[in-house]
Structure 1
Amino acid sequence: MAKAKALKNISNMKNSMKQIIKEILKIISKEEVEKIARAVGFIQRQGKIQAWDFLYLCAFSGLDVSKNTLVAMSANLNGNMATEVSTQAIHERLNDKAVAFLMEVFTRLLNSVALTDSKISTIWDTHFDRIRIVDSTAFQVPRIYKKEYEGSGGSSQPAGVKIQLEYELKTGRFMHIHVGP
């Protein structure tokens, strides 16, 4: 009984991931992902791991790349993407260029989604020319990202990420999006 429920949950998760990937492909194509990978130096020549496969592995496979084994990652790529790749090849891809690649892809996705119109009418529309909402959030990341995402120091974590957003309520547009240390 428990095994059947687990298989159903896995099936539902795979269907959800397929739907998410389909929606992402409406915003950014596999070809664009490959171009980004080349632009940041993540892909320099034709190899076994394509940029799209790596993006899938890190973002959509359901694996925690920081905790799962290379064997699990290799098996996941083979089973779900039909990409046969060695654990060594994956290990070699987990580097600063991979971080730059993922950051650029998600920044573009965020900008594409966030910069669409979503005007919210309010009673204040007639009283103000602009209504700007500015907000931010911050979270800690592992110490190995200290060079890219320096923390605030003191007793806090040495590495942290801050996301800042500025939204214009009357036009329904995000005016500013920044991801940084």
Structure 2
Amino acid sequence: MMSKRIKQLLKSLKELYSVQVIEKIASKTKFMKRKSKITPEIFVSLCLFWGDDLCRSSLLQLKSRLEAKEDITISPQALDQRFNESAVEFLKAIFYEMFEKQNEILKDDETLLRYHFKSIKVVDSATIILPENLEPTYRGSGGPRW
């Protein structure tokens, strides 16, 4: 049975990925300047949900996914033009909003995190220094501060 907090997290993520929110972010980041065959929500789906690895997919494969899922015919060159600075800013904003939503829910109930994540394993010698304002929330091992 799914916990109440997990259900709340899923609901928030669904709200984040609503057409209205995605279009608002697309306008704000100048990804959506005019109506297009590839709407912002289709672009998000193409980049995030329709394949195993966007970075390893060819433009031809991405074009085929658009044709199969959305009945959109577009040349690989036209699709390539959609992957521009505005698209990067758009996807960064989507991820930032998702991260913010998740954090709002998860920080309110630390027991949810403890229930699903029993341990953290550090497999390299990287040092992570958090901003001072996060120190009370995320206490370290008590070692020296850098």
The within-5 A match list for 1:44-123 is 44-116=33-105, 117-120=108-111
Q: 1:59 and 1:22 mapped to 2: Cα distance?
A: 18
Ranges in structure 1 where 5+ consecutive residues have no aligned partner: 1-20, 121-161, 171-181
| Contact residue 40 and residue 100 of structure 1 kept, 8 A | yes
* 1:26 paired residue number: 15
| Contact residue 74 and residue 84 of structure 1 kept, 8 A | yes
Q: 1:62 and 1:23 mapped to 2: Cα distance?
A: 23
* Structure (1/2) with the larger helix percentage: 2
Aligned residues: CA RMSD: 3.0
Ranges in structure 2 where 5+ consecutive residues have no aligned partner: 1-9, 112-127, 139-146
One-letter amino acid of the counterpart of residue 41, structure 2: W
**1:79-103 alpha-carbon deviations (Å, 9 max, x no partner):** 1233333322211111111110000
Quickly say closer, same or farther: Cα 1:88–1:167, change in 2 above 3 A.
farther
With the length of structure 1 as denominator, give the TM-score of the two structures.
0.51
Quickly say closer, same or farther: Cα 1:102–1:71, change in 2 above 3 A.
same
**1:15-61 alpha-carbon deviations (Å, 9 max, x no partner):** xxxxxx98732333112101111111111000111001111111111
Alignment match of 2:27 (pick from 35, 38, 41): 38
One-letter amino acid of the counterpart of residue 25, structure 1: K
Secondary structure in structure 1 of the residue aligned to 2:110? coil
With the length of structure 2 as denominator, give the TM-score of the two structures.
0.62
Q: Higher relative contact order by CA 8 Å / sep ≥ 6: 1 or 2? A: 2
| Contact residue 63 and residue 73 of structure 1 kept, 8 A | no
Secondary structure in structure 2 of the residue aligned to 1:33? helix
Q: 1:68 and 1:51 mapped to 2: Cα distance?
A: 19
| Contact residue 36 and residue 105 of structure 1 kept, 8 A | yes
One-letter amino acid of the counterpart of residue 98, structure 1: A
Q: 1:33 and 1:79 mapped to 2: Cα distance?
A: 22
| Contact residue 16 and residue 22 of structure 2 kept, 8 A | no
Q: 1:108 and 1:23 mapped to 2: Cα distance?
A: 10
